[in-house]
Amino acid sequence: MSHFETDTCSPLPPLELLWKSLTDSIECSIVVIDRSYRIQFINRFEGGWVAADMLGRNVFDFVQPSSVEYSQTMIESVFQTGQACAFDIESFDAPNHPTTVYSVRAVPIQISGAVVSVVVTLIDTRLAQAAESLQRESQQNLQKLLTLHDRERQLISYEIHDGLAQYLAGAAMQLEAFDHACRPHSKSILTDSFHFLEEGLRLVGASVDESRRLVSGMRPLSLDELGIISAVEILVDEARIDIPHVEYSWSEGILRFCPGLETTVFRIVQESLTNIRKHSDAHRASVRLERRGDSDLAIIVTDDGIGFDLTAVAANHFGIEGICQRAKIYGREALITSSIGKGSRVEVVLPFIPDTRNEQQSQII
């Protein structure tokens, strides 16, 4: 039985039909050339030539003279060594068609250990550049959205901190002063009503605590005032309310970096710890900020909780999605691993961007 089929599946179509369907479905050009550099097969060519007219011709007839020697050397190396290679060429396009630069990958076809042909794939670099441009634009738009979102949260947090929280704190002080003044006379004045005062004090105190929690959640004021190391340490201390043991460590040399990156690191740690506190039933967790060389910064958060099935995460599970989106802003991917009963691990490696605020301030001065 062929490895292309099983006893539970119908046999695959003949290889010729599979090859045709495959090459027809691929957007790039696929060329098969023999030992004499003659074109044995071509599915399409974007340079204005008709594919059928290219069969049997020397492949270098369609390469710009300036690229022939180099590309021939690369193709010949595939025939000689049996090793694939990649390079760029300029095509010799049909009249009225602009010259195109292609990204080329050449792979050998071997029979009995001898290379008999080479399969060449050609991708128009303009398409790759367009895709890269779209990716950059997507990252920039996402960065703008998150920046606006964080800025809005910051403004609201300032409103709470400077308005509501101050009023509540002032009210609590007045009530406490009233309570202190009345206590000596409590046996003769409204003794039975003091529990209402005590309950009012408790509720006002709880409101002050809640307003501070909202401020911390909406905008990490500690991040601006204390820096990333201390701000994350506050998150870790809060997490210890629900997780008995939380370790926190960081590499030497991590002090301050650019504000946007600091916010991203803070949010990734915050969302990771929130997920652990809400869902994992963990007894131990760890947070580490780690410099990797001169160019990268890694955030690693682990726990020993119940774990979860990554394929079954609900669509409204925004914590994981938020971590992934924040990593994408910097062109990186969040590596999230977990399995039932074996805890979870979040690792995000971001490009390290130094803090230039002091330099900018000195230039202004």
The pLDDT value recorded for residue 135 is: 67
For 117-130, what is the mean pLDDT?
77
The stretches of the chain forming alpha helices (DSSP H) are 15-25, 51-54, 65-81, 125-159, 165-182, 194-218, 221-226, 228-239, 259-275, 318-329, 357-364
Distances (CA, A) of 168 to 104, 206, 209, 222, 358: 68, 10, 10, 21, 36
Rounded to an integer, what distance in angstroms lies between the CA atom of residue 271 and that of residue 239? 11
pLDDT tens for residues 198-253?
A: 777 777 777 777 676 666 655 566 777 788 899 899 899 989 989 999 999 998 87
pLDDT higher than threshold 60 for residue 6: no
Residue-wise DSSP of 292-338? ETTTEEEEEEEE-S----GGG--TT-HHHHHHHHHHHHTT--EEEEE
CATH topology of domain 223-365: Heat Shock Protein 90 (3.30.565)
- Confirm if 292 and 298 have CB atoms less than 8 A apart: yes
What's the token pair of residue 300? 């690693």
Residue 273 confidence class, pLDDT cut points 50, 70, 90: very high
Rounded to an integer, what distance in angstroms lies between the CA atom of residue 288 and that of residue 348? 11
Domain 15-125 has CATH 3.100.10.10: no
For the chain, the domains span: 15-125, 223-365
pTM of full prediction above 0.75: no
The domains spanning 15-125 and 223-365 adopt the same CATH topology = no
In sequence order, what are the beta bridge partners of 209?
none
pLDDT tens for residues 301-354?
A: 999 999 988 777 654 455 788 788 888 888 889 999 998 889 999 999 999 888
The pLDDT value recorded for residue 102 is: 81
In sequence order, what are the beta bridge partners of 102?
89, 124
